[in-house]
Structure 1
Amino acid sequence: MQIVTRLIAMGRARLLHRQFRNIEGNISALPARVRARLAVMTLREIGQASRCEFPHLYGTAPELRYAAWGQGTEIGFSRAKSDNPEVALRGIALWLAVAYHETKDSPHPSLQPQHRQVLRVLRELRDATGEQSETMAQWMRSGAAA
């Protein structure tokens, strides 16, 4: 059974990595002002997800709450492809929030590189906003960032 679990986790890690490359490309194409908005939106999504009973299932239908992985990353990824810039930003923020919580305390070693990548992007978004964002500074000092 452990082998099956590892294979499933490795498949999930590959899917997240493939999606992450597209999300990262979308983020790098954004202007600085839009990145600052994305940073605030992402922090809001991470905070909302952390208040849920199962943060890694944020954005998933309640009847699927016992699944190993939710649908939040798929929903966010599909929205990130939208032609509407606002929907795309919200999709990226959702994807980052769910991927952060999904990989945060994962016991699977294959998901740890994805968590480091998400943390790197969150750090870059934080740095892109500068020190003028009080919301960002408060969030980083709070326990939600841990």
Structure 2
Amino acid sequence: MQIVTRLIAMSRARQLQRQFRQIERNISALPTRTRGRLGVMTLREIGQASRCEFPHLYSTAPEQRYMPWGQGTQIGFNRAQSDNPEVALRGIALWLAVAYHETKDSPHTSLQPQHRQVLRVVRELRDATGEQPDTAAQWMRSDAGAAA
């Protein structure tokens, strides 16, 4: 059973890595001001997900609760490919929030690099929001930021 679990985790890590590369390209193509907006959206999504019973299943239908992983990253990834800039921003924020929570406390070593990458991007976006250091520090101490 452990072999199957490891294979599933490795498969998921590859899928998240592939999606992350595209998400990162989308983010790097954004103007600085838009990155600030994306940072605020992402922090908000992470906070909303952290208030759910199962944050890694945020944006997943309740009947799909027992799947190996939720649908939030796929929904966010699909939205991030949208031609509508607002939908794309919200998709990126959703993807980052769900991927963050999904990889946060993972015991699987294959998912830990993805968490570090997501964490790096979230930090960069948080810094792009232009918030005062006190505001960012307050966010980090809050429930929403406790995960970052």
Measured against the shorter chain, the TM-score band is: over 0.9
1:5 is the counterpart of 2:9: no
Alignment partners' CA distance in 2, 1:86 and 1:136? 24
Aligned mates of 1:87, 1:135 — CA distance in 2: 27
Q: Cα offset for 1:8?
A: 0.6
Range moving further from structure 2, 60-69 or 78-87: 60-69
- State how many pairs are aligned: 146
TM-score (norm 1): 0.95
Query: Structure 1 counterpart of 2:25, which letter?
Result: G
The Cα shift of 1:145 comes to 2.1
Structure 2 alignment gaps of length 5 or more: none
Most deviating of 93-102 and 123-132:
123-132
In structure 2, what is the equivalent of residue 108 of structure 1? 108
What is the Cα deviation at residue 106 of structure 1?
A: 0.6
Q: CA deviation at 1:122?
A: 0.6
Relative distance call for 1:134 and 1:41 in structure 2 (3 A) is farther
Q: CA deviation at 1:137?
A: 4.4
Percent of aligned positions that are identical: 84
Structure 1 gaps of 5+ residues are none
Distance in structure 1 (CA, Å) of the matches to 2:131 and 2:45: 20
The equivalent residue for 2:63 is: 63
Going from structure 1 to structure 2, the CA distance change for 1:72 and 1:141 (only over 3 Å counts) comes to: same
CA apart distance, 1:75: 0.2
- Following superposition, the deviation at residue 130 of structure 1 comes to 2.5
The reply to whether residue 18 of structure 1 matches residue 32 of structure 2 is no
Shift of 1:138: 3.0
CA RMSD of aligned residues (A): 1.4
Deviations 1:51-94 (A, max 9, x none): 00100000100101122200000000000000000000000000
CA–CA distance in structure 1, aligned partners of residues 96 and 131 of structure 2: 21
TM (norm. structure 2) is: 0.93
Residues 1:82 and 2:82 aligned together: yes
CA contact (8 A) 1:43 1:136 kept: no
Answer with 88-97 or 135-144: which moved more. Answer: 135-144
